[in-house]
Structure 1
Amino acid sequence: ITSLKCNICSSNIESLEELLTHLKDVHEKTIHTDVKNQIVPFKFDSDFLRCFMCLNVFTSFKPLNQHMKKHYRNYICKACDEGFVNKFTLNVHEQIHKNGTFKCDHCAKIFDTIQKKKMHEKSVHEMRSSKCGFCNEAFKNYRHKVKHLIQVHGVPSRTHVCQACNKEFLVARSLNDHVRKGHLMER
């Protein structure tokens, strides 16, 4: 950090703690003590988020924070050499490399790394990514959601037709698999 400055009155500030005290006492700002205070290397001066290093624009904070790992490799993971802006994110990341016994929170499956457990839980048990836009019913995959939309809500089907045999598919990937396995004899 080269310098800190109050954006309200342009006073030069020596430390993060001094800035918080200044904002509270001088400008009567509410300081939340239930969250950890840290200096973030971003400038929030408009409706969008821009990396001040390369000027890329982001729609939300999470992808910008991920992106900053390219510029700030302050803390390096010894297992995979990935860089992190701060020690906290490095510590969170390092958990994926730990070996042990990790049981799925939803079924009896056991995994040797937490990353494998999380990937399993997301792909098998998490249905958040495929919700019906009409009734919010959740589905394990896109194909089940499309079938639901057609049968329950009467959404016209956008079928994909095989040029070789005229068989119809709801999902383009299913058509591609069919052509590869059924007509090109790929296994």
Structure 2
Amino acid sequence: FKYPKSSAAKLNAGVILRYSTVYPFRLPENNIVCVFCHESFEEPSAFGKHMEQHQTFSIRHAFAHCPDSYLKADCSDIRCRICLKPSDSLETIANHLRKTHQKLLDLSAPLGIQPFNFKSDKLRCAMCETKAYSLRQLSRHTQTHFLRFTCETCGKAYASNNALQVHIRYSHRKLKGYYCGKCRTTFNTVDEKRIHLDESERCRRYVCNVCGDRFMSSFTKLLHMKEAHGVEKKPQVCPECGQAFADKKILINHFKTAHTDNNVVCDFCGQKFVSKKDLEEHRVTHTNDKPFPCPVCSKPFPRKKNLTQHMWIHSEYKKFECKLCDKKFNQRVSWKSHNKINHPELMNFE
């Protein structure tokens, strides 16, 4: 759904924000950000208390951050600012403002607001009660209720025109060779792209929050933050059961397996998995199938990721260099094996 200028949906949203305790926010990372003063909050309850202090604010600031999609808004405690009457939904408060206070609302048009309900300690969709493990994941799910922009090429739908354009750019634009998503440079081979990523600081995605240094992976960034700044990685806590995990991916897998009903089960051993892809990868441990042969040497592999890792053996690009004899290797495991056999004194410092 897109807001044309002075659209009914945008007018509806503006009236609701002005005359009720529906509080708009942004979610750039996993924190809630006030659209009026840009203060950030880790806990939704703290954001609600903060918004009660905003006695006056400019509604246009709310639309400045999302000009072409529904506004995200905290609808946990909806009350009319005129008569203080509580409401249990956006539709109820819209009807109340129109009929009781004669405010200009077009009830035949969308209300232009994406609702979030933070009454419970658990994260739940305000529309269908689906569970979520983080604010970002809850936001992504909630958007699925508002998918109005459809790709004419593949039929995928998105909540905003901007999201659709990003999809088209990355999925359907014809690119020659390999492509750097950061600087838009194209390369003829994967080796050229890897060299570019190794040498280009601008294209390293992971940035140290303390000193601004850039890294190729989340792991190397976290290692740097621990060794250089003494910053330990925060444990990832499940919002449902409180169990803590060292890595977000492990938390996501735990959440989907333990707290949702849409799991797939292995016919051989009964183990649960969060997706058919994970199940298929697991099934090869029972069947011993190896459906992925190497196109160079024909060696078969049970999983595609095993084949991808193996293909480095045939690559001419050797990024791992021995510090003592200048011998180069295209795999880290080969480099470590070389050091262990030929330079064991180095292993104490790796």
State if a TM-score over 0.5 links the two structures. Answer: no
TM-score normalised by length of structure 1: 0.43
TM-score normalised by length of structure 2: 0.27
Higher relative contact order (CA 8 A, sep 6+): 2
